[in-house]
Structure 1
Protein backbone atom coordinates (compact mmCIF):
# COMPACT_ATOMS: atom_id res chain seq x y z
CA UNK A 1 0.00 0.00 0.00
CA UNK A 2 1.32 3.39 -0.98
CA UNK A 3 1.63 5.89 1.81
CA UNK A 4 0.71 9.43 0.87
CA UNK A 5 3.11 12.15 2.03
CA UNK A 6 1.82 14.25 4.96
CA UNK A 7 0.59 17.69 3.94
CA UNK A 8 2.75 20.52 5.25
CA UNK A 9 1.08 23.13 7.40
CA UNK A 10 1.28 26.69 6.08
CA UNK A 11 2.93 28.46 8.98
CA UNK A 12 3.49 31.88 7.47
CA UNK A 13 -0.20 32.82 7.01
CA UNK A 14 -0.91 31.68 10.58
CA UNK A 15 1.82 33.93 11.86
CA UNK A 16 0.32 36.79 9.93
CA UNK A 17 -3.09 36.15 11.51
CA UNK A 18 -1.57 36.04 14.98
CA UNK A 19 0.37 39.23 14.32
CA UNK A 20 -2.77 40.99 13.15
CA UNK A 21 -4.65 39.80 16.26
CA UNK A 22 -1.91 41.10 18.56
CA UNK A 23 -1.92 44.43 16.75
CA UNK A 24 -5.72 44.69 17.10
CA UNK A 25 -5.49 43.88 20.79
CA UNK A 26 -3.01 46.70 21.22
CA UNK A 27 -5.09 49.21 19.25
CA UNK A 28 -8.52 48.58 20.81
CA UNK A 29 -7.65 49.85 24.33
CA UNK A 30 -6.38 53.11 22.80
CA UNK A 31 -9.76 53.72 21.18
CA UNK A 32 -11.52 52.50 24.28
CA UNK A 33 -10.03 55.38 26.24
CA UNK A 34 -12.03 57.84 24.10
CA UNK A 35 -15.76 58.10 24.90
CA UNK A 36 -17.90 56.89 22.02
CA UNK A 37 -19.81 59.54 20.09
CA UNK A 38 -23.55 59.45 20.67
CA UNK A 39 -25.17 58.55 17.35
CA UNK A 40 -27.40 61.19 15.72
CA UNK A 41 -30.90 61.11 17.12
CA UNK A 42 -29.93 59.80 20.56
CA UNK A 43 -30.62 62.09 23.54
CA UNK A 44 -27.68 64.00 24.95
CA UNK A 45 -26.54 62.94 28.39
CA UNK A 46 -25.47 65.44 31.06
CA UNK A 47 -23.36 63.64 33.70
CA UNK A 48 -23.94 65.24 37.11
CA UNK A 49 -20.22 65.18 37.90
CA UNK A 50 -19.67 67.44 34.86
CA UNK A 51 -22.46 69.91 35.69
CA UNK A 52 -20.10 72.67 36.88
CA UNK A 53 -17.47 72.15 34.21
CA UNK A 54 -19.08 72.82 30.84
CA UNK A 55 -17.92 75.45 28.38
CA UNK A 56 -20.57 76.47 25.86
CA UNK A 57 -21.21 78.51 22.75
CA UNK A 58 -24.42 80.11 21.48
CA UNK A 59 -24.37 81.15 17.83
CA UNK A 60 -27.32 82.18 15.69
CA UNK A 61 -25.72 84.54 13.14
CA UNK A 62 -22.62 84.76 10.99
CA UNK A 63 -20.48 81.89 9.67
CA UNK A 64 -20.44 79.02 12.14
CA UNK A 65 -17.08 78.60 13.87
CA UNK A 66 -16.68 74.91 14.77
CA UNK A 67 -13.27 75.51 16.38
CA UNK A 68 -14.62 77.48 19.35
CA UNK A 69 -13.23 76.04 22.58
CA UNK A 70 -16.54 74.77 23.95
CA UNK A 71 -18.07 71.36 24.54
CA UNK A 72 -21.68 72.51 24.03
CA UNK A 73 -23.14 74.42 21.05
CA UNK A 74 -26.61 75.99 20.99
CA UNK A 75 -27.63 76.51 17.35
CA UNK A 76 -30.53 77.31 15.01
CA UNK A 77 -31.76 74.07 13.37
CA UNK A 78 -32.86 75.80 10.16
CA UNK A 79 -29.64 77.72 9.52
CA UNK A 80 -27.35 74.90 10.64
CA UNK A 81 -26.63 72.18 8.09
CA UNK A 82 -26.31 68.45 8.73
CA UNK A 83 -22.71 68.68 7.51
CA UNK A 84 -21.95 71.29 10.16
CA UNK A 85 -23.49 69.23 12.94
CA UNK A 86 -21.56 66.18 11.71
CA UNK A 87 -18.31 68.13 11.92
CA UNK A 88 -19.11 69.30 15.44
CA UNK A 89 -20.02 65.80 16.52
CA UNK A 90 -16.72 64.55 15.13
CA UNK A 91 -15.13 66.96 17.61
CA UNK A 92 -17.14 65.38 20.45
CA UNK A 93 -19.38 68.45 20.82
CA UNK A 94 -22.82 68.26 22.40
CA UNK A 95 -25.43 70.01 20.26
CA UNK A 96 -28.52 71.84 21.51
CA UNK A 97 -31.22 72.83 19.04
CA UNK A 98 -33.01 76.14 19.65
CA UNK A 99 -36.77 75.88 19.10
CA UNK A 100 -39.21 78.72 19.69
CA UNK A 101 -42.22 76.85 21.01
CA UNK A 102 -44.45 79.71 22.12
CA UNK A 103 -44.26 82.01 19.11
CA UNK A 104 -44.14 81.96 15.31
CA UNK A 105 -42.63 84.31 12.73
CA UNK A 106 -44.12 84.82 9.30
CA UNK A 107 -40.74 83.85 7.82
CA UNK A 108 -40.69 80.46 9.58
CA UNK A 109 -40.85 77.61 7.03
CA UNK A 110 -43.81 76.09 8.87
CA UNK A 111 -45.65 79.34 9.65
CA UNK A 112 -48.63 78.46 7.46
CA UNK A 113 -49.32 75.37 9.59
CA UNK A 114 -50.33 77.46 12.61
CA UNK A 115 -54.03 78.36 12.38
CA UNK A 116 -54.84 82.04 12.68
CA UNK A 117 -56.98 81.32 15.74
CA UNK A 118 -53.90 80.30 17.77
CA UNK A 119 -51.89 83.42 16.84
CA UNK A 120 -51.95 86.29 19.29
CA UNK A 121 -50.26 89.65 19.66
CA UNK A 122 -46.75 90.65 18.59
CA UNK A 123 -44.03 88.58 20.26
CA UNK A 124 -40.56 89.44 21.50
CA UNK A 125 -38.80 88.68 18.25
CA UNK A 126 -39.25 90.90 15.19
CA UNK A 127 -42.19 89.86 13.02
CA UNK A 128 -43.34 87.23 15.51
CA UNK A 129 -46.63 86.50 17.26
CA UNK A 130 -47.39 84.64 20.44
CA UNK A 131 -49.17 81.29 20.30
CA UNK A 132 -52.08 80.06 22.39
CA UNK A 133 -50.34 77.31 24.35
CA UNK A 134 -53.71 75.98 25.55
CA UNK A 135 -54.35 74.72 21.99
CA UNK A 136 -52.19 71.62 22.35
CA UNK A 137 -53.93 69.60 19.64
CA UNK A 138 -53.23 72.34 17.09
CA UNK A 139 -49.66 73.06 18.18
CA UNK A 140 -48.35 69.57 18.90
CA UNK A 141 -48.00 68.30 15.28
CA UNK A 142 -46.06 71.39 14.19
CA UNK A 143 -43.80 71.47 17.24
CA UNK A 144 -43.19 67.72 16.95
CA UNK A 145 -41.94 68.28 13.40
CA UNK A 146 -39.67 71.08 14.63
CA UNK A 147 -38.20 68.61 17.10
CA UNK A 148 -37.86 65.97 14.38
CA UNK A 149 -35.90 68.46 12.28
CA UNK A 150 -33.48 68.84 15.19
CA UNK A 151 -33.08 65.10 15.58
CA UNK A 152 -32.69 64.58 11.84
CA UNK A 153 -29.84 67.06 11.69
CA UNK A 154 -27.95 65.31 14.48
CA UNK A 155 -28.91 67.33 17.54
CA UNK A 156 -29.25 65.44 20.81
CA UNK A 157 -30.94 68.15 22.88
CA UNK A 158 -33.53 70.87 22.41
CA UNK A 159 -33.90 74.18 24.26
CA UNK A 160 -37.42 75.61 24.48
CA UNK A 161 -37.61 79.37 23.92
CA UNK A 162 -40.61 81.67 24.32
CA UNK A 163 -41.94 79.13 26.81
CA UNK A 164 -43.18 81.88 29.14
CA UNK A 165 -46.00 83.56 27.25
CA UNK A 166 -48.17 83.56 30.38
CA UNK A 167 -45.94 86.39 31.67
CA UNK A 168 -46.47 88.52 28.53
CA UNK A 169 -49.39 90.19 26.81
CA UNK A 170 -50.13 87.47 24.29
CA UNK A 171 -53.74 88.28 23.50
CA UNK A 172 -54.83 85.11 25.32
CA UNK A 173 -55.84 84.68 28.98
CA UNK A 174 -52.90 82.38 29.75
CA UNK A 175 -52.09 81.66 33.38
CA UNK A 176 -49.25 80.02 35.28
CA UNK A 177 -50.81 76.55 35.16
CA UNK A 178 -51.52 76.76 31.42
CA UNK A 179 -47.83 77.34 30.82
CA UNK A 180 -46.71 74.63 33.25
CA UNK A 181 -48.86 72.04 31.48
CA UNK A 182 -47.64 73.13 28.04
CA UNK A 183 -43.97 73.05 29.03
CA UNK A 184 -44.28 69.64 30.66
CA UNK A 185 -46.00 68.28 27.57
CA UNK A 186 -43.14 69.60 25.44
CA UNK A 187 -40.51 68.00 27.69
CA UNK A 188 -42.33 64.69 27.36
CA UNK A 189 -42.63 65.14 23.59
CA UNK A 190 -38.90 65.84 23.29
CA UNK A 191 -38.03 62.70 25.24
CA UNK A 192 -40.36 60.62 23.07
CA UNK A 193 -38.33 61.80 20.07
CA UNK A 194 -34.97 60.97 21.70
CA UNK A 195 -34.08 64.56 22.58
CA UNK A 196 -32.90 65.89 25.93
CA UNK A 197 -35.21 68.81 26.91
CA UNK A 198 -33.93 72.12 28.25
CA UNK A 199 -35.84 75.19 29.43
CA UNK A 200 -34.84 78.70 28.35
CA UNK A 201 -35.53 81.57 30.74
CA UNK A 202 -39.05 81.23 32.29
CA UNK A 203 -37.38 81.91 35.63
CA UNK A 204 -40.57 82.00 37.78
CA UNK A 205 -41.33 78.39 36.82
CA UNK A 206 -37.81 76.94 37.05
CA UNK A 207 -38.30 75.41 40.49
CA UNK A 208 -41.54 73.70 39.46
CA UNK A 209 -40.12 72.47 36.16
CA UNK A 210 -36.66 71.37 37.32
CA UNK A 211 -37.72 67.69 37.61
CA UNK A 212 -39.03 67.73 34.01
CA UNK A 213 -36.02 69.24 32.24
CA UNK A 214 -32.36 68.22 31.92
CA UNK A 215 -30.76 71.68 31.70
CA UNK A 216 -31.55 75.40 31.70
CA UNK A 217 -30.55 78.28 29.42
CA UNK A 218 -30.64 81.75 30.92
CA UNK A 219 -30.14 85.28 29.63
CA UNK A 220 -28.86 88.01 31.94
CA UNK A 221 -29.64 86.63 35.37
CA UNK A 222 -26.84 88.84 36.78
CA UNK A 223 -28.18 92.07 35.28
CA UNK A 224 -31.71 91.15 36.38
CA UNK A 225 -30.61 89.87 39.81
CA UNK A 226 -32.29 86.49 39.27
CA UNK A 227 -29.38 84.03 39.42
CA UNK A 228 -30.40 82.52 42.77
CA UNK A 229 -33.68 81.39 41.21
CA UNK A 230 -31.76 79.04 38.90
CA UNK A 231 -30.33 77.04 41.80
CA UNK A 232 -32.98 74.26 41.58
CA UNK A 233 -31.17 73.11 38.43
CA UNK A 234 -27.66 73.60 39.80
CA UNK A 235 -28.48 71.89 43.08
CA UNK A 236 -29.87 68.91 41.15
CA UNK A 237 -26.61 68.53 39.23
CA UNK A 238 -28.15 69.86 36.01
CA UNK A 239 -26.21 72.33 33.84
CA UNK A 240 -27.19 76.00 33.64
CA UNK A 241 -25.97 77.68 30.45
CA UNK A 242 -25.92 81.40 31.16
CA UNK A 243 -25.13 84.48 29.03
CA UNK A 244 -24.73 88.19 29.78
CA UNK A 245 -24.80 90.87 27.09
CA UNK A 246 -23.38 93.75 29.14
CA UNK A 247 -20.75 94.16 31.82
CA UNK A 248 -17.36 92.55 32.18
CA UNK A 249 -16.60 88.90 32.78
CA UNK A 250 -14.25 90.11 35.52
CA UNK A 251 -17.36 91.29 37.37
CA UNK A 252 -20.13 88.75 36.76
CA UNK A 253 -18.06 85.55 36.57
CA UNK A 254 -17.41 85.72 40.30
CA UNK A 255 -21.14 85.38 40.90
CA UNK A 256 -22.09 82.83 38.27
CA UNK A 257 -19.12 80.50 38.62
CA UNK A 258 -19.85 80.47 42.35
CA UNK A 259 -23.36 79.29 41.52
CA UNK A 260 -21.91 76.59 39.27
CA UNK A 261 -23.18 78.04 35.98
CA UNK A 262 -21.49 77.80 32.57
CA UNK A 263 -21.27 81.52 31.80
CA UNK A 264 -20.27 83.55 28.75
CA UNK A 265 -20.53 87.10 27.52
CA UNK A 266 -21.89 87.65 24.00
CA UNK A 267 -23.13 90.42 21.76
CA UNK A 268 -26.89 90.36 21.27
CA UNK A 269 -26.35 89.46 17.62
CA UNK A 270 -25.14 86.06 18.88
CA UNK A 271 -22.41 85.72 16.28
CA UNK A 272 -19.26 83.67 16.83
CA UNK A 273 -17.15 85.81 19.26
CA UNK A 274 -17.55 85.05 22.96
CA UNK A 275 -15.87 85.61 26.29
CA UNK A 276 -16.08 82.64 28.62
CA UNK A 277 -15.86 82.59 32.39
CA UNK A 278 -13.09 80.35 33.73
CA UNK A 279 -14.03 76.95 35.04
CA UNK A 280 -14.15 76.59 38.84
Structure 2
Protein backbone atom coordinates (compact mmCIF):
# COMPACT_ATOMS: atom_id res chain seq x y z
CA UNK A 1 0.00 0.00 0.00
CA UNK A 2 1.36 3.40 -0.98
CA UNK A 3 2.25 5.45 2.05
CA UNK A 4 1.25 9.07 1.28
CA UNK A 5 -2.25 9.76 2.52
CA UNK A 6 -5.18 12.06 3.19
CA UNK A 7 -7.72 11.59 5.99
CA UNK A 8 -11.09 13.31 5.81
CA UNK A 9 -14.26 12.13 7.52
CA UNK A 10 -16.44 15.27 7.57
CA UNK A 11 -17.06 18.43 5.55
CA UNK A 12 -17.14 18.98 1.79
CA UNK A 13 -15.03 16.20 0.38
CA UNK A 14 -11.77 17.19 -1.33
CA UNK A 15 -10.42 14.72 -3.88
CA UNK A 16 -7.59 16.93 -5.18
CA UNK A 17 -4.65 15.71 -3.09
CA UNK A 18 -1.91 13.85 -4.94
CA UNK A 19 -1.57 11.04 -2.45
CA UNK A 20 -1.55 7.27 -2.61
CA UNK A 21 -4.25 6.61 0.00
CA UNK A 22 -7.52 8.31 0.91
CA UNK A 23 -9.06 7.41 4.29
CA UNK A 24 -12.77 8.30 4.13
CA UNK A 25 -16.07 7.52 5.83
CA UNK A 26 -17.66 4.22 4.83
CA UNK A 27 -21.25 5.36 5.24
CA UNK A 28 -21.11 8.95 4.04
CA UNK A 29 -18.96 8.52 0.94
CA UNK A 30 -20.87 7.60 -2.24
CA UNK A 31 -19.64 4.57 -4.15
CA UNK A 32 -19.16 6.85 -7.17
CA UNK A 33 -16.59 8.90 -5.23
CA UNK A 34 -14.68 5.75 -4.34
CA UNK A 35 -14.76 4.64 -7.97
CA UNK A 36 -13.46 8.06 -9.05
CA UNK A 37 -10.62 8.00 -6.53
CA UNK A 38 -9.57 4.54 -7.63
CA UNK A 39 -9.70 5.57 -11.28
CA UNK A 40 -7.26 8.36 -10.38
CA UNK A 41 -4.87 5.76 -8.98
CA UNK A 42 -5.73 6.18 -5.29
CA UNK A 43 -6.21 3.39 -2.78
CA UNK A 44 -9.33 3.91 -0.68
CA UNK A 45 -9.55 3.02 3.01
CA UNK A 46 -13.05 3.18 4.48
CA UNK A 47 -13.54 4.26 8.08
CA UNK A 48 -16.17 2.87 10.43
CA UNK A 49 -16.38 2.47 14.17
CA UNK A 50 -16.05 -1.17 15.21
CA UNK A 51 -16.09 -0.48 18.94
CA UNK A 52 -18.84 2.09 19.42
CA UNK A 53 -22.44 2.63 18.40
CA UNK A 54 -23.18 5.96 16.72
CA UNK A 55 -26.79 7.05 16.89
CA UNK A 56 -26.72 8.72 13.47
CA UNK A 57 -25.70 5.63 11.51
CA UNK A 58 -28.24 3.84 9.34
CA UNK A 59 -27.77 0.53 11.17
CA UNK A 60 -27.85 1.96 14.70
CA UNK A 61 -31.25 0.40 15.49
CA UNK A 62 -29.73 -3.06 15.10
CA UNK A 63 -27.71 -2.66 18.31
CA UNK A 64 -29.47 -3.84 21.45
CA UNK A 65 -29.34 -2.07 24.79
CA UNK A 66 -27.21 -4.95 26.10
CA UNK A 67 -24.70 -4.37 23.30
CA UNK A 68 -23.95 -0.86 24.53
CA UNK A 69 -21.94 0.45 27.45
CA UNK A 70 -21.17 3.99 28.60
CA UNK A 71 -20.83 7.03 26.30
CA UNK A 72 -17.47 7.85 24.77
CA UNK A 73 -16.02 10.87 26.52
CA UNK A 74 -16.26 13.89 24.25
CA UNK A 75 -18.14 12.18 21.44
CA UNK A 76 -21.87 12.87 21.55
CA UNK A 77 -24.14 10.07 20.41
CA UNK A 78 -21.55 7.30 20.79
CA UNK A 79 -21.45 4.44 23.26
CA UNK A 80 -18.88 1.70 23.72
CA UNK A 81 -19.89 -1.69 22.36
CA UNK A 82 -19.67 -5.11 23.93
CA UNK A 83 -17.22 -6.68 21.51
CA UNK A 84 -18.05 -10.12 22.90
CA UNK A 85 -21.59 -9.85 21.48
CA UNK A 86 -22.51 -12.05 18.52
CA UNK A 87 -24.98 -9.38 17.44
CA UNK A 88 -22.22 -6.77 17.33
CA UNK A 89 -20.17 -9.09 15.14
CA UNK A 90 -23.12 -9.63 12.79
CA UNK A 91 -23.45 -5.86 12.36
CA UNK A 92 -19.71 -5.43 11.77
CA UNK A 93 -19.68 -8.24 9.22
CA UNK A 94 -22.41 -6.38 7.33
CA UNK A 95 -20.28 -3.22 7.43
CA UNK A 96 -17.39 -5.14 5.94
CA UNK A 97 -19.76 -6.41 3.24
CA UNK A 98 -20.70 -2.79 2.56
CA UNK A 99 -17.03 -1.82 2.27
CA UNK A 100 -16.49 -4.56 -0.30
CA UNK A 101 -19.66 -3.62 -2.20
CA UNK A 102 -18.64 0.04 -2.39
CA UNK A 103 -15.22 -0.87 -3.74
CA UNK A 104 -13.03 0.05 -0.75
CA UNK A 105 -9.49 -1.31 -0.91
CA UNK A 106 -9.25 -1.48 2.86
CA UNK A 107 -10.92 -0.54 6.12
CA UNK A 108 -10.06 1.42 9.23
CA UNK A 109 -12.16 0.09 12.13
CA UNK A 110 -12.05 2.62 14.95
CA UNK A 111 -12.36 2.30 18.74
CA UNK A 112 -10.75 -1.13 18.88
CA UNK A 113 -9.17 -0.46 22.28
CA UNK A 114 -12.21 -0.54 24.52
CA UNK A 115 -10.45 -2.78 27.03
CA UNK A 116 -8.13 0.15 27.85
CA UNK A 117 -11.01 2.62 28.36
CA UNK A 118 -13.89 3.07 30.78
CA UNK A 119 -16.65 1.35 28.86
CA UNK A 120 -19.05 0.18 31.56
CA UNK A 121 -18.37 -3.32 30.24
CA UNK A 122 -16.02 -6.00 31.65
CA UNK A 123 -13.75 -6.11 28.59
CA UNK A 124 -10.28 -7.59 28.89
CA UNK A 125 -7.16 -7.36 26.74
CA UNK A 126 -7.83 -10.94 25.68
CA UNK A 127 -11.36 -9.99 24.59
CA UNK A 128 -9.90 -7.20 22.49
CA UNK A 129 -7.31 -9.42 20.85
CA UNK A 130 -10.00 -11.97 19.99
CA UNK A 131 -12.27 -9.31 18.50
CA UNK A 132 -9.54 -7.50 16.59
CA UNK A 133 -8.28 -10.79 15.21
CA UNK A 134 -11.79 -11.61 14.07
CA UNK A 135 -12.10 -8.22 12.33
CA UNK A 136 -8.81 -8.79 10.52
CA UNK A 137 -9.77 -12.27 9.41
CA UNK A 138 -13.19 -11.13 8.21
CA UNK A 139 -11.68 -8.20 6.28
CA UNK A 140 -9.12 -10.43 4.61
CA UNK A 141 -11.80 -12.96 3.72
CA UNK A 142 -13.47 -10.18 1.72
CA UNK A 143 -10.26 -9.14 -0.01
CA UNK A 144 -9.91 -6.00 2.12
CA UNK A 145 -6.75 -4.67 3.74
CA UNK A 146 -7.24 -3.62 7.37
CA UNK A 147 -5.54 -1.06 9.58
CA UNK A 148 -4.96 -1.22 13.32
CA UNK A 149 -6.30 1.96 14.90
CA UNK A 150 -4.45 3.24 17.99
CA UNK A 151 -4.35 -0.12 19.82
CA UNK A 152 -0.57 -0.06 19.93
CA UNK A 153 1.17 -3.40 20.16
CA UNK A 154 -1.66 -5.86 19.51
CA UNK A 155 -1.85 -8.21 16.54
CA UNK A 156 0.88 -6.77 14.34
CA UNK A 157 0.84 -9.89 12.18
CA UNK A 158 -2.89 -9.65 11.49
CA UNK A 159 -3.00 -6.05 10.27
CA UNK A 160 -1.71 -4.58 7.03
CA UNK A 161 -1.11 -1.00 8.20
CA UNK A 162 -1.72 1.22 11.21
CA UNK A 163 -3.60 4.47 11.75
CA UNK A 164 -2.52 6.43 14.79
CA UNK A 165 -3.63 9.63 16.45
CA UNK A 166 -1.08 11.72 18.33
CA UNK A 167 1.70 9.23 18.96
CA UNK A 168 4.16 12.15 18.84
CA UNK A 169 2.11 14.13 21.35
CA UNK A 170 1.84 11.12 23.67
CA UNK A 171 5.39 9.88 23.01
CA UNK A 172 4.18 6.49 21.75
CA UNK A 173 5.56 6.44 18.20
CA UNK A 174 8.37 4.07 19.13
CA UNK A 175 5.78 1.37 19.70
CA UNK A 176 5.26 1.23 15.93
CA UNK A 177 8.75 -0.07 15.22
CA UNK A 178 7.25 -3.53 14.69
CA UNK A 179 5.07 -2.17 11.87
CA UNK A 180 7.94 -0.22 10.32
CA UNK A 181 10.26 -3.22 10.49
CA UNK A 182 7.59 -5.32 8.79
CA UNK A 183 7.30 -2.62 6.07
CA UNK A 184 3.71 -1.86 7.01
CA UNK A 185 2.69 1.80 6.61
CA UNK A 186 1.97 3.81 9.75
CA UNK A 187 -0.38 6.73 9.07
CA UNK A 188 -0.22 9.28 11.87
CA UNK A 189 -2.32 12.39 12.58
CA UNK A 190 -1.43 15.10 15.07
CA UNK A 191 -3.79 17.80 16.36
CA UNK A 192 -1.90 19.80 18.98
CA UNK A 193 -1.99 23.59 18.47
CA UNK A 194 1.81 24.14 18.35
CA UNK A 195 1.95 21.68 15.46
CA UNK A 196 -0.78 23.65 13.69
CA UNK A 197 0.85 27.05 14.22
CA UNK A 198 4.46 25.81 14.12
CA UNK A 199 5.08 27.80 17.30
CA UNK A 200 8.77 27.63 18.13
CA UNK A 201 9.30 25.37 15.15
CA UNK A 202 7.20 22.62 16.75
CA UNK A 203 5.89 21.34 13.43
CA UNK A 204 9.33 21.38 11.87
CA UNK A 205 10.64 19.28 14.77
CA UNK A 206 7.62 16.98 14.50
CA UNK A 207 8.16 16.35 10.82
CA UNK A 208 11.85 15.66 11.25
CA UNK A 209 11.02 13.08 13.93
CA UNK A 210 8.28 11.55 11.79
CA UNK A 211 10.52 11.16 8.76
CA UNK A 212 13.29 9.67 10.89
CA UNK A 213 10.85 7.14 12.37
CA UNK A 214 9.35 6.25 9.00
CA UNK A 215 5.87 7.53 9.88
CA UNK A 216 3.48 9.27 7.48
CA UNK A 217 2.44 12.21 9.61
CA UNK A 218 -0.24 14.81 8.91
CA UNK A 219 -1.26 17.78 11.08
CA UNK A 220 -5.04 17.95 10.84
CA UNK A 221 -8.10 19.42 12.56
CA UNK A 222 -9.64 17.11 15.15
CA UNK A 223 -12.90 17.22 13.18
CA UNK A 224 -11.06 15.84 10.12
CA UNK A 225 -12.99 18.25 7.90
CA UNK A 226 -10.11 19.36 5.61
CA UNK A 227 -10.21 22.91 6.97
CA UNK A 228 -6.41 22.71 7.04
CA UNK A 229 -3.76 20.10 6.29
CA UNK A 230 -0.01 20.01 6.80
CA UNK A 231 1.92 17.01 5.53
CA UNK A 232 5.37 16.00 6.72
CA UNK A 233 5.97 14.21 3.41
On whether the aligned pair clears a TM of 0.5, the verdict is yes
TM-score by length of 1: 0.77
Aligned-residue offset at 1:120: 0.6
1:257 aligns with 211
Aligned-residue offset at 1:59: 0.4
Aligned-residue offset at 1:131: 0.6
Aligned-residue offset at 1:253: 0.8
Q: Which runs of 5+ in 2 are unaligned?
A: none
**Which of the two has higher C-alpha Rg?**
1
1:32 aligns with none
CA distance in 2, matches of 1:170, 1:269: 23
Aligned-residue offset at 1:269: 1.6
CA distance in 1, matches of 2:89, 2:116: 21
Cα pair 2:20 2:41 within 8 Å, conserved: yes
Cα pair 1:55 1:276 within 8 Å, conserved: no
- Which residues in structure 2 correspond to 1:77-116 (within 5 Å)? 77-116=26-65
2:232 is the alignment partner of 1:277: yes
- Which residues in structure 2 correspond to 1:131-146 (within 5 Å)? 131-135=81-85, 137-146=86-95
| Structure with the larger RCO, 1 or 2 (CA within 8 Å, 6+ apart) | 1
CA distance in 2, matches of 1:93, 1:58: 13
CA distance in 2, matches of 1:114, 1:123: 16
Aligned-residue offset at 1:69: 2.0
Equivalent residues, number = 223
CA distance in 2, matches of 1:63, 1:107: 18
1:172 aligns with 121
SS in 1 for 2:174: helix
Report which stretch shifted further, 150-159 or 236-245: 150-159
2:161 is the alignment partner of 1:215: yes
CA distance in 2, matches of 1:159, 1:216: 9
Cα pair 2:83 2:89 within 8 Å, conserved: no
TM-score by length of 2: 0.92
2:194 is the alignment partner of 1:239: no
Q: Which runs of 5+ in 1 are unaligned?
A: 1-45
Render the CA deviation track for 1:190-214: whole Å, top value 9, x for unaligned. Answer: 11111111111012xx2x3100100
Aligned-residue offset at 1:227: 0.5
2:130 aligns with 181
Structure 1 stretches of 4+ with a deviation exceeding 2 A read none
